[in-house]
Amino acid sequence: MAGGVASAGLLVHDSFSYSAGDLTGGNGGSGWSGAWTDSGNPVVVSSTGLTYKDVFGNTLQVSGSALNTADGGAATTISAREVSDRNAETWISVLIQPQGSFSDFLGVSFYDQGLATANARFAIEQTGKDLRLVRRAPGTPTPPVNSATFSTTIGTTVFAVIHLVPGGGTGGLDRVDVYFNPRLDEVPSSAHASLAISGLQFDRVRVAGQNGRSTLVDELRIGESFADVTPYIAPVDPDTDGDGLLDSQEIALGLDPNVSDAAFIAALRANPGWIALHSTEEITDVSIGRLAISSWNPTTFDYSFEILDRHDTSIETITRQQTAGGRDFLRLNLNTP
Domain harbouring 131, CATH code: 2.60.120.200
Parent domain of 169:
10-233
* Three-class DSSP category at 273: helix
Residue 240 inside a domain? The answer is no
Residue 191 inside a domain? The answer is yes
66 and 151 both lie in a single domain: yes
Residue 81 inside a domain? The answer is yes
Q: Mean of the per-residue pLDDT values for the chain? A: 88
130 and 165 both lie in a single domain: yes
254 and 164 both lie in a single domain: no
133 and 253 both lie in a single domain: no
Closest CA to 96 of 176, 226, 209, 231: 209
Which residues, at least 6 apart from 119, have a Cβ–Cβ distance to it below 8 Å? 111, 112, 113
263 and 132 both lie in a single domain: no
223 and 254 both lie in a single domain: no
Bridge partners, 124 (sequence order):
108, 133
What integer is the mean pLDDT of 178-195? 96
Number of compact structural domains in the chain: 2
Please give the span between the terminal C-alpha atoms of the chain, in angstroms, as a whole number: 47
265 and 181 both lie in a single domain: no
Residue 329 inside a domain? The answer is no
Q: What angle do CA 130, 132, 136 make, to 5 degrees?
A: 140
59 and 140 both lie in a single domain: yes
Quote the CA–CA distance of 235 and 217 in Å, as a whole number: 25
Quote the CA–CA distance of 137 and 279 in Å, as a whole number: 55
Closest CA to 244 of 264, 270, 272: 264
The CA distances from residue 201 to 23, 29, 191, 313, 337, in Å, are: 25, 22, 21, 73, 73
What integer is the mean pLDDT of 324-331? 61
Confidence (pLDDT) at 286: 78
Residue 199 inside a domain? The answer is yes
Residue 309 inside a domain? The answer is no
- Model-level pTM? 0.72
Residue 265 inside a domain? The answer is yes
99 and 127 both lie in a single domain: yes
Quote the CA–CA distance of 194 and 96 in Å, as a whole number: 19
Quote the CA–CA distance of 57 and 170 in Å, as a whole number: 36
Residue 292 inside a domain? The answer is no
What integer is the mean pLDDT of 84-98? 97
153 and 272 both lie in a single domain: no
16 and 163 both lie in a single domain: yes
Q: Where are the alpha helices (DSSP H) in the chain?
A: 247-253, 262-270
Of the pLDDT bands very low, low, confident and very high (cuts 50, 70, 90), residue 335 is low
100 and 178 both lie in a single domain: yes
Confidence (pLDDT) at 327: 57
Percent of the chain with pLDDT over 70: 91
Higher pLDDT, 121 or 271: 121
Tens-digit pLDDT profile for residues 231-288: 999 988 888 888 989 888 888 888 898 899 999 888 888 887 787 766 666 677 778 8
